[in-house]
Structure 1
Amino acid sequence: MQLNFSGLQALVTGAGKGIGRATAKALQASGARVVAVSRTNADLVSLSKECPGVEPVCVDLGDWEATERALGGVGPVDLLVNNAAVALTQPFLDTSKEVFDRSFNVNLRSVFQVSQMVARGMIERGVPGSIVNVSSMVAYVTYPNLAAYSATKGAMTMLTKAMAMELGPHKIRVNSVNPTVVLTAMGQKVLRDPESTRKLKERHPMRKFAEVEDVVNSILFLLSDRSASTSGSGILVDAGYLAS
């Protein structure tokens, strides 16, 4: 998808790997200045070598105070992609406080915090903006051992709508993308069993999982003026899974 983001600054969380990394690279290739946020410095070093000019920020978004310090001075942001997440697998009955808290702190609370910081800056500058939250199809359907993760994504659906409603008068749009399994490093950790992976893939009408590029293209569309009247919505990138 060829889009022009020249003159705009984008902030992408979870930019070290997978969907976040591909999104940061695509935004830079489309003309945006990119701030790439990751908790893994080695990933940011390699990304900076691949994409000179990307501004790296190393911080654990699960730490509220550290996030405030790290992102307080990033400057004006026009486009925000809340992609950072952890997928910690435990059965519901065995889910620990540590797994629950970590899941919500990274997957949901950081979206709240970073979006507040960015949106306040947009409002102070009097400029429009676009925020995309990277969610999952498990906001709507269940999968074994993902109770905490699914709960964060279900909550993100309503947070996206609430943000869209309150920020809409300021010309700030907020949407989500909800992909099925994407076989990034995180996706492969969740689907360790080849047989269950095969069965899950066959439950998709298109008999496939999503590719990273499929998700990135949906993110870019929602960030762009081509979705100018879309806010509070979620794009399913699920190969038809929820239709079956």
Structure 2
Amino acid sequence: MQISFRGLRALVTGAGKGIGRDTVKALQDSGAQVVAVSRTNEDLVSLSKECPGIEPICVDLGDWEATERVLGNVGPVDLLVNNAAVLLIQPFLEVSKEAFDRTINVNLRSVFQVSQIVARGMIARGVPGSIVNVSSMVSRATIANLASYSSTKGAMDMLTKVMALELGPHKIRVNTVNPTVVLTPMGRKVSAVPELTQALKQRTPLKKFAEVEDVIYSILFLLSDKSAMTSGSGILVDGGYLAS
């Protein structure tokens, strides 16, 4: 199945590393003009060398005012991937206000803000669009010490449904991908805990974690017109974890 985004402009948050970085590459390879957003300028410099022609934007999405200032005039966007996230591992009883606020602001509030900016632009231009929010299987499954992160992903799944409901009449589709642990720098924070790794893999029918490309393919499908009747939904990339 060939997917082409030629003539379309995409925006990817959390583009410096992991899933976001490879999503930028895949979208560019599929013909899209890509705006890559990251809070780490060094990552954007190296990504720009790998992908000449992308539009790098450095901003901390946890800062509402800075995000509005930098992305408020980002221009026409047809495809949006809300991927930016932080993972702060703390037992529930030890979660601090600072850690909770940071997690909410980056993982959830930025999805509201960036999606509002992009969707308003789509509506003003009268064009269809597709938004993919990168969620997690922990929006539906409990794992100890991930209270803040899991809460943001659970909220993201419901936000996605409400966005799909309200934006659908404007021909804007909104979906999630919900992966298990992905072998990225963030995912290795979880996989570095041997007992947790063993427990997760033991319950997973496929007995392994996800590779980045496993998630990328789902993102590309949901962004494309190959999924034209899919909205308010989610693709589990969990190796069968939630089926067991």
- Shorter-chain TM-score above 0.5: yes
Amino acid at match of 2:168: G
Aligned residue runs from structure 1 range 129-148, under 5 A: 129-148=129-148
Aligned residue runs from structure 1 range 87-98, under 5 A: 87-98=87-98
TM-score, length basis structure 1: 0.98
Q: CA deviation at 1:236?
A: 0.2
Q: CA deviation at 1:201?
A: 1.2
Q: CA deviation at 1:192?
A: 2.0
Q: CA deviation at 1:74?
A: 1.6
Considering only aligned residues, what root-mean-square deviation do their CA atoms show, in Å? 0.8
Amino acid at match of 2:151: A
Does residue 49 of structure 1 match 2:49?
yes
Query: 1 CA distance for matches of 2:211 and 2:183?
Result: 7
Change (3 A) 1:154 1:18: same
Deviates more, 1:155-164 or 1:184-193: 184-193
Partner of 1:178: 178
Query: 1 CA distance for matches of 2:100 and 2:135?
Result: 17
Does residue 118 of structure 1 match 2:118?
yes
Aligned 8 A contact 2:190 2:196 in 1: no
Could you report, residue by residue, the CA deviation over 1:63-92 in whole angstroms, capped at 9, with x for unpaired residues?
000000111122100000000000111111
**Structure 1, gaps ≥5 residues long:** none
Q: CA deviation at 1:141?
A: 0.5
Partner of 1:79: 79
Aligned 8 A contact 1:87 1:190 in 2: no
Partner of 1:58: 58
Query: 2 CA distance for matches of 1:143 and 1:30?
Result: 36
Query: 2 CA distance for matches of 1:43 and 1:56?
Result: 10
Does residue 35 of structure 1 match 2:24?
no
Query: 2 CA distance for matches of 1:22 and 1:195?
Result: 29
Does residue 9 of structure 1 match 2:9?
yes
Query: 2 CA distance for matches of 1:25 and 1:106?
Result: 23
Amino acid at match of 1:115: S
Query: 1 CA distance for matches of 2:190 and 2:116?
Result: 30
Percent identical: 80
Aligned 8 A contact 1:11 1:37 in 2: yes
Aligned 8 A contact 2:190 2:197 in 1: no
TM-score, length basis structure 2: 0.98
Q: CA deviation at 1:197?
A: 1.2
Query: 2 CA distance for matches of 1:118 and 1:232?
Result: 17
Query: 2 CA distance for matches of 1:106 and 1:225?
Result: 29
Q: CA deviation at 1:203?
A: 1.3
Amino acid at match of 1:11: L
Deviates more, 1:185-194 or 1:98-107: 185-194
Does residue 197 of structure 1 match 2:227?
no
Aligned 8 A contact 2:181 2:190 in 1: no
Could you report, residue by residue, the CA deviation over 1:48-72 in whole angstroms, capped at 9, with x for unpaired residues?
0000000000000000000001111
